[in-house]
Structure 1
Amino acid sequence: MADAPRTEATQEEAQAEPGPYAIKDFDAFALNMARALEQLGKAAGNWAEPRSKGEAAGGIEPATDMVKTLSKLAEYWLGDPSRAFAAQSKLMGGMMSLWMNAAQRMAGEKVAPIAEPDKGDKRFQDKDWQEQALFDFLKQAYLVVSRWGSELITDAEGLDERTRHKAEFYMRQVSNALSPSNFVLTNPELWRETVESGGENLVRGMTMLAEDIALGKGDLRLRQADRSSFELGRDMALTPGKVIARSELAEIIQYEPATDTVLKRPLLICPPWINKFYILDLNPKKSFIRWAVEQGHTVFVISWVNPDERHGTMAWEAYIEHGLRFALDTVEQATGEKKVNAVGYCVGGTLLAAALALMAKDKDRRIKTATFLTTQVDFTHAGDLKVFADEEQIEALEKAMGVKGYLDGNRMATAFNMLRPGDLIWPYMVNNYLRGKEPAAFDLLFWNADATRMAAANHSFYLRNCYLDNRLSKGEMKLAGRKISLKDVRIPIFNLATREDHIAPARSVFVGSSLFGGEVHYVLSGSGHIAGVVNPPSSGKYQYWTGDAPDGDFNHWLENATEHSGSWWPHWQSWIESQHAKRVAARKPGASTPILGEAPGEYVRVKA
């Protein structure tokens, strides 16, 4: 019996011990809340200052277009009392079921959840989302309401397809933004971290928020990777090479050979100007450029300028003349070869396709094969980026770009991030600004955040001729005063799509294949716009599909395609060699051209 008092004391102490959600030191917590609010005030000031000076980027903000679009959805449901009543009854039924479920659980009964997260949803993995009744209720209420919102769009019969597409896109943005996982008080993991650190996490987070809004000159430049961990030429873009030519729009890089003999036809890569070329040279293990050099290609790459006021009036004709044709002239000077294999990635491929159609009119036949990587030439099925390409938004964007002659790089980065908000926005908002943690050192996301500006005339031409009016596919695009047709492009084409692409959907690339005048070899890779392309054989990841000519229905083609494990790179190499396999002695940069500097050059280092 002597131990009894100690047992009772221990129980009393245990009862008095604060739980994981209780604030331990109110004074320290209050002080840190004040510090966090101070930093939040700085963030607000950094947002407001450029707007008060008229220096903020113009154009229609996504929130403005979202309100207009969702207002049209509301008009449909509220325009008929019976429809409105049915929609409200459906929501109330779901919420009543949830209330009854919660009451039964509070009474000690075992009950199955009304709503569960989709498989692979990482937001609700903490055990307290299931074990704590309050957080479980918040989670399920969110799922019920967000799914109801999606069904409003699905069930709306009177919406035109463009409005429906935009409504689906914006509803995803709203749904992701309002998740209880994004707020300290409604996320069990965040609240535990906040009370454990006495609010230090919020001080760090709000400090980073103020820094990132200042860096974005009034707009949030979301940090997705540790910016101090990477440097071009030190950690990435390491393939040895030389800058051998430079125009006002492009530097041309020739890479050092890695074999004694090389394919006679040089390889010219035209990357997108929307991003920087080193996505194809991230590091030695992931580098398509290094791998191509090791297969015996003499590789040349166009490194586009990061445009400023000087480039505002330069459209596609200038990019073809001072970029692609300038590069072809440089390749010929460096190697003596007039026959070239060309690769175009994303919008770089769209530019290459248009250039090939123009060159066909000029009887310029230096490009003998074209490889298109996740490239659209028909924009009928162009995916979610079409949300930003209606007449009203383009006009507003053109007006904003006309002030400086370019579109700020942060605007394009935000648009791309909005394609996958659950992966590219909210995990970083929570990690950075609420948990107060620096993001990990990830080379791909460092590249993704290394934004480029868009020259005004170039970007306007692209949006209007491709996304808005789809003129390239119709044979109505004009370059150098002449209409061009992809049917005039009769060279062999390797056309790669990726199955999970949000930017150049696989179906869109497939449909575009039929527009060319020659033989097209369509290949579908696993994964998405980046990982499906940057997939070295050594990684052993993903797969690719090959099949018949890309005619007819995409789903029919896929059903009958042959699946192959691993990277598509060796398959591409075999295709290239099947077109022309003759080899010559390796070529060194600078043998017949000046050397202007070491790769990766100067243009790629310019920050937006």
Structure 2
Amino acid sequence: MTTNDLETGAEVGQNVAKLEANLARVEELTQRLLKVMGQGRQVAPALQGPSQELYLKAATAYMNEMMQNPAKLIEHQLEFWGKSVKHYVEAQHLLAQGKLEPPTDETPKDRRFAHELWDTNPYFNFIKQQYLMNASAVQQAVEDIDTLDEDEKKRLRYFSQQMIDMISPTNFLPTNPEALALAAETEGESLVAGLENMIADLEANDGDLVVTLADKKAFKLGENLATTPGSVVFRNHLFELIQYAPSTEKVYETPLLIFPPWINKFYIMDLKPENSLIKWAVDQGYTVFVVSWVNPDAGYRDTSMSDYVEDGYLTAIKQVKQICDVKKVNAVGYCIAGTTLSLTLALMKKRKDTSVNSATFFTTLTDFSDRGEVGVFLDDDFIDGIEDEVTENGILDSFFMSRTFSYLRSNDLIYGPAIKSYMMGKAPPAFDLLYWNGDGTNLPAKMATEYLRGLCQDDKFATDGFEICGETVQIKDVTVPLCAIACETDHIAAWKSSYDGISKMGSKDKTFILSESGHIAGIINPPSKKKYGHYTNPEIGLTADDWYASADKHEGSWWPRWDGWLSGKSGKKVTARQPGSDEFPVLGPAPGTYVIAK
């Protein structure tokens, strides 16, 4: 026996011992898994997916069309069978020749199958090709149904794609070569670590399986997120008002008041100094105020849209005016906060209140005639389920909002992270944006119902009028100078719908900017990054398609262009203001207490 034989034997012994230790850990973890399973919330079927009526309509339409035009169905099936069987025969032929290589692969590139074994290993390549062929056949079958209306077709397209994505071979350990290779390389250590990650997520969410997207221990608000210096200068039951410390000797006379959405937390605009919209605005010489909304519990059950307008928007505007001793403010609304800002402005028009000098809308919908991708969740089957949920619990729990938005990008926000965490045992990354994405908020029952029914479904603000604070307001009642920024690939607030709403507003002074990228990246796009460009076109009266066709493309961020517009609405320069006043003493440092509360 040689020295090498002894060393090899020792290595094998160590590997076996490691494998046995991992198996023992699996047994221990299994006990924890059994304990936590079944503890999750019971989600009503209405919130699990579309009603069976959609699938029944689709099946009926498909059968009717098959009867009326069997040639189309036969052609479609023959094409699918031809590709599938041809691929099988080619794979068998190579195997019979003793060639361990995949046949010709003409399937489209898909980043889920980036690992080299999907292309080089005949087994995994066969699975990949068959899956993609089946996926294409399902997609084509949906497109071939001509007798569904457009909304039903859109929903069927979306939910069938969800099923396709869910059964991807990458999502299952026996058919994921990257996860299997790592398991073999680590003697099962990666699988044990993955099981630990899954159990930790289940335990952290009371039995609900919610994959952790970012390392929660890597960030702390006020220390490495939301660090722009400022102070809380006002607080009521709905919000804390933060005033940021100046970084210039002189500031514009008219302060800037930012309303973030209350379905998320405000620090998306203040993640870190290099991409903080808040810090950048302060550095341009604006006195910046931000509303930090309370995260409501069941005690806020009866809080309405009118409460958000009266006790939120109008109160915040009043406080800023008093703190800065001015007659007007410039206001910004992001997403649903922009929608509600438009309601507030229309109400102020009715009341002859001229406290807002100009308004800026970030990715804001006011015309809901086309609700974009998120519209698949806004039919009665889902909204009825949400209404039952909030009636029972007083709030729409952040769990449901987070899950809905995650499924709009399921491969990026559900399946991809789950594969890395649960199959490969990797720790979640220290990624600030994903940390924020997982820090959700609840919605009050009454407000959620009013918003979903009156605005999203019935589109009242852009049509007959929406009732707020005892007045019926319409989109044409928004008459202040305005600037709107929409995002080209926004999956929540489709840019064309945003444009349509702006075009219907009564303002004579309108600026519309289309940023590249999506709902977050298109807005949080600092000039220093030189990443995403933007489009402008002064002709707001055109259709959205014509506006885009004749728009000018500009490189880089839209922030400086907005600054050029906003500075012209902000008056002269005055001595920089420190947070608070004699009447409004500082209550504590930014980012405040509401944003931290769970």
**Which TM class, normalised by the smaller chain length?**
over 0.9
- Note the 1:125-164 alignment, pairs <5 A: 125-164=114-153
Supply the distance in 1 between the matched residues of 2:338 and 2:28 (Cα, whole angstroms). Answer: 48
Flag structure 1 segments of 5+ consecutive residues without an equivalent.
1-5
Q: CA deviation at 1:244?
A: 0.6
Provide, for residues 222-255 of structure 1, a one-character-per-residue CA deviation record: whole Å limited to 9, x for no partner.
2111110000001100011110111101110001
Residue 590 of structure 2 is aligned to residue 599 of structure 1 = yes
Change (3 A) 1:162 1:46: farther
State the SS of the aligned residue for 1:394: helix
Q: Does 1:308 align with 2:293?
A: no
Structure 2 counterpart of 1:348, from 325, 332, 337 = 337
* 1:533 correspondence with 2:555: no
Q: Residues 346, 115 of structure 1: CA spacing in aligned structure 2 closer, same or farther, 3 A cutoff?
A: same
Contact 2:50–2:381 at 8 Å: present in 1 too? no
Letter in 1 for 2:340: L
CA contact (8 A) 2:91 2:103 kept: no
Alpha-carbon distance in structure 1 between the residues aligned to 2:45 and 2:457:
17
Alignment-derived partner of residue 3 in structure 1: none
Partner of 2:180: 191
- What's 1:173 paired with? 162
Q: Write the deviation string for residues 24-43 of structure 1: whole angstroms up to 9, x where unpaired.
A: 96786577457447646644
User: Which residue is 2:558 aligned to?
Assistant: 568
Q: Which residue in 1 is equivalent to 2:46?
A: 60
* RMSD, aligned α-carbons: 2.5
* 1:172 CA displacement: 2.0
Q: For the structure 1 residues 513 and 430, does the alpha-carbon distance in structure 2 shift closer, same or farther, using more than 3 Å as the test?
A: same
Q: Structure 2 counterpart of 1:351, which letter? A: T
Whole-angstrom CA distance in 1 between matches of 2:398 and 2:591? 20
1:249 aligns with 2:238: yes
**SS of residue matched to 2:112:** coil
**Alignment map for 1:472-491 (pairs within 5 Å):** 472-491=461-480
1:127-526 alignment runs, 5 A limit: 127-518=116-507, 519-526=509-516
Q: Which residue of 2 aligns with 1:579?
A: 569
Q: 2:533 aligns with which of 534, 538, 543?
A: 543
Deviation of the 1:486 alpha carbon = 1.7
- The alpha carbon displacement at 1:468 in A equals 1.1
Structure 1 residues 30 and 505: alpha-carbon distance in aligned structure 2, compared to 1, 3 A threshold? farther
**1:59 and 1:400 in contact (8 A); partners too:** no
**Any idea what the Cα deviations from partners look like across 1:194-214, whole Å, max 9, x if unmatched?**
122222222222222222123
Structure 1 residues 73 and 101: alpha-carbon distance in aligned structure 2, compared to 1, 3 A threshold:
farther
Q: For structure 1, which segment, 272-281 or 321-330, has the greater mean C-alpha deviation from structure 2 after superposition? A: 321-330
- How far apart are 1:286 and its partner, in Å? 0.7
Matched residue, 2:58: 73
Q: 1:492 Cα shift? A: 1.0
- The 3-state SS of whatever aligns with 1:538 is helix
- Mapped contact 2:335–2:362 kept (Cα < 8 A): yes
Letter in 2 for 1:61: L
Is the deviation greater in 531-540 or in 68-77?
68-77
- SS class of match (2:462): helix
List per-residue Cα deviations over 1:166-191 (Å, max 9, x = no partner). 11111221122111112221111111
Q: CA deviation at 1:473?
A: 1.3
Which residue identity is paired with 1:556? D
Pairwise CA distance, 1:502 = 0.6
Unaligned runs of 5+ in 2: none
1:379 shift after superposition: 1.4
User: 1:99 — aligned with what?
Assistant: 88
Distance 1:68 1:45 in 2: 37
Which AA in structure 2 matches 1:318? D
1:561–1:37 Cα change, 3 Å? farther
What aligned pairs does 1:110-125 form with structure 2 within 5 A after superposition? Answer: 113-118=104-109, 121-125=110-114
- 1:480, CA displacement in angstroms? 2.0
Instruction: Return the letter of the residue paired with 1:570.
Output: P
Against the structure 1 CA distance between its residues 37 and 386, is the aligned structure 2 distance closer, same or farther, given a 3 Å change threshold? farther
The answer to whether the 8 A contact 1:40-1:209 is kept is no
Matches of 1:36 and 1:85, distance apart in 2: 50
In 2: Cα distance, 1:362 partner to 1:265 partner: 22
Distance 1:550 1:176 in 2: 39
> Residues 109, 279 of structure 1: CA spacing in aligned structure 2 closer, same or farther, 3 A cutoff?
closer
Q: Does the Cα contact within 8 Å between 1:139 and 1:180 map onto a contact in 2?
A: yes
How far apart are 1:111 and its partner, in Å? 7.9
- Cα offset, 1:403, TM superposition: 2.1
Aligned residues, how many?
Answer: 583
Distance 1:529 1:442 in 2: 18
User: How far does residue 97 in structure 1 lie from its aligned partner after superposition?
Assistant: 2.0
Q: 1:227 to 1:449 in 2, by over 3 A?
A: same
Q: Which amino acid aligns with 2:60?
A: E
- Note if contact 1:78-1:84 (Cα within 8 Å) is conserved in structure 2: no
Secondary structure of 2:218's counterpart equals coil
Change (3 A) 1:288 1:429: same
> How far is the alpha carbon of 1:74 from its aligned partner?
2.9
Identity across matched positions, percent:
37
What is the alpha-carbon distance in structure 2 between the residues aligned to residue 466 and residue 115 of structure 1?
A: 46
| C-alpha deviation, 1:50, in angstroms | 4.4
Shift in alpha-carbon separation, 1:164–1:586, aligned structure 2, 3 A: same
Is the Cα contact below 8 Å between 1:97 and 1:114 reproduced in 2? no
Q: Measured at CA, do residues 37 and 130 of structure 1 come closer, stay the same or move farther in structure 2, by a change above 3 Å?
A: farther
Give SS of 1:514's match: helix
SS of equivalent residue, structure 1 residue 48: coil
Contact 1:378 1:511 in 2 (8 A): yes
| In 1: Cα distance, 2:464 partner to 2:354 partner | 20
- CA shift, 1:376, in A, is 0.6
